[in-house]
Structure formats: structure tokens, C-alpha cells
Structure 1
Amino acid sequence: MANRVRKHMINFYVDDDELAAIRLKMSKMNMTNQSLYMRKMALEGRIIKVDYSVFNDIASSISGVARNINQIAKRINATDNIYAEDMQQIEQTQEEIWKLLKKILSKLL
């Protein structure tokens, strides 16, 4: 106990409903350490959980678009020609990227 970083203990009482509410909030944050949760709430007043799944979906979509662009670049390098359909495909992929970025913004706002 001499090496304990936090040397001061704070105790308080809650009723059954308050305890259930605290545990529900902890479970929503995927937190199991009640002491950590209570300390963060006392010091910061709130805990923000960020859902990064939106970014994972967008990243995989953009990765697919990048593969299409790489295929076009390989074809251009192999033939030394740029075809009108290649340019159309590049424009379409650009449009897809803009749509994906707008989708990110709409989910964040």
C-alpha cells in the first residue's frame, strides 16, 4: 500500500435505482472498473465514447475506389494511352469519394 499512487479514498452512498443507473451507463461505455468510471465522471463530468465504425466502413469503401484507380493507372502505363473511358472511370471514382466524404460529414453532424 505504500506504493499506492492514489492515497485518498472517497466514499458515498447511492440507492438501488442510482446504482442501477450508474451500472447501466458503465455498460454502455464498456467499462467494468467502477472506480475508474466514478473518478473520470467526478473529474471530467462526462465520458465520450466515439463510434469509429463509420470510419471503418468508409475506409474500406475508399480502399475499393483506390484499387480501381490503380487498375486504371496500370492499364495506362502498359499501353501508354489514355482512353476516354479511363477518364470517365476516374471521374466516377472521384464522385464516389466525394459521396463517401459527404456521408462521413452527415454522420458526424
Structure 2
Amino acid sequence: MRNRNVQIKFFLSPEEVLFLEKKMQVAGIKNKSAYLRTMALDGYIINLDFSELKEFINALNRIGNNLNQIAKVANTYGEVSMPEVYEFEAEVNKIFGKIDKVIRRWLNS
């Protein structure tokens, strides 16, 4: 008698079948039933939230814009006001602080 006697059916598109076969090949599993059972019972879904990364990208873009403005002033007048440089430095340090905070949270989770 069969140990596994409950059948579960689902449908895939032809593209999904090809993708499944590639994933099986990478995993080194040739038995489709064994692969699907392993993924269904032991697999997990990774849900990634990139909102913080998008915030960093936006902040880095702002820093790049500020740096370009400082460079234009330096090229035009031969000097830059130190308050602008200090403001730029503070913005960069703020971003690095946020990145450090996120990395620590990811490492602790």
C-alpha cells in the first residue's frame, strides 16, 4: 500500500513548467513529485521589502545633487563655503547612520 495516498493537483503554464524543470535541475532533483513535495513541505517564501533601500537610493541621489552643486560653485568661484560642506557632510553621515541601523536590524533578525 502506498504511504502517500492523498493527491493534490494544480496547473502550470508551459513557461512555468520550463521554469520548474530548470529549478529541479539546479537542485539536482529529477523526480518532479519529490521536488514539489520538498518545496511544499520544507520550502519557504522570502518576502523582501525594499522600501528602505529605495529611501537610501533617494538619499544618495540627493547627496549626488548636492555634491554637483558644490562642485559647480567651486569651479565657478574657486572656493566653497564651509557651511555648505559641513551640511553635506552631515547629510552623508545621516545616511551612513541609517544604513548601519538597518544592517544591525537585519543581522539581529
Q: Could you tell me how far apart the structure 2 residues matched to 1:104 and 1:34 are?
A: 40
Corresponding position: 1:60 with 2:58: yes
Normalized against structure 1, the TM-score is what?
A: 0.53
1:1-109 → structure 2 map (5 Å cutoff) = 12-13=6-7, 39=36, 41-42=39-40, 45-109=43-107
Shift of 1:56: 1.2
Please say if residues 63 and 91 of structure 2, whose CA atoms lie closer than 8 Å, have aligned partners that are also in contact.
Answer: yes
Offset of residue 55 of structure 1 = 0.9
Scaled by the length of structure 2, the TM-score of the pair is 0.53
Larger RCO (alpha carbons 8 Å, 6+ apart)? 1
- Runs of 4+ deviating beyond 4 Å: 33-36
Is the CA contact (8 Å cut-off) linking 1:58 and 1:104 kept in structure 2? no
| Partner SS state of residue 6, structure 2 | coil
Paired-residue identity, %: 25
Separation in structure 1 between the aligned mates of residue 5 and residue 50 of structure 2, nearest angstrom: 35
Alignment CA distance shift 1:51-1:70 (3 Å): same
Q: Count residues in correspondence.
A: 81
Letter in 2 for 1:53: S
- Which sections of structure 1, spanning at least 5 residues, go unmatched? 1-9, 15-32
**Alpha-carbon distance in structure 2 between the residues aligned to 1:54 and 1:34:** 36
- Shift of residue 86, structure 1, vs aligned partner: 2.9
- RMSD value, Cα: 3.4
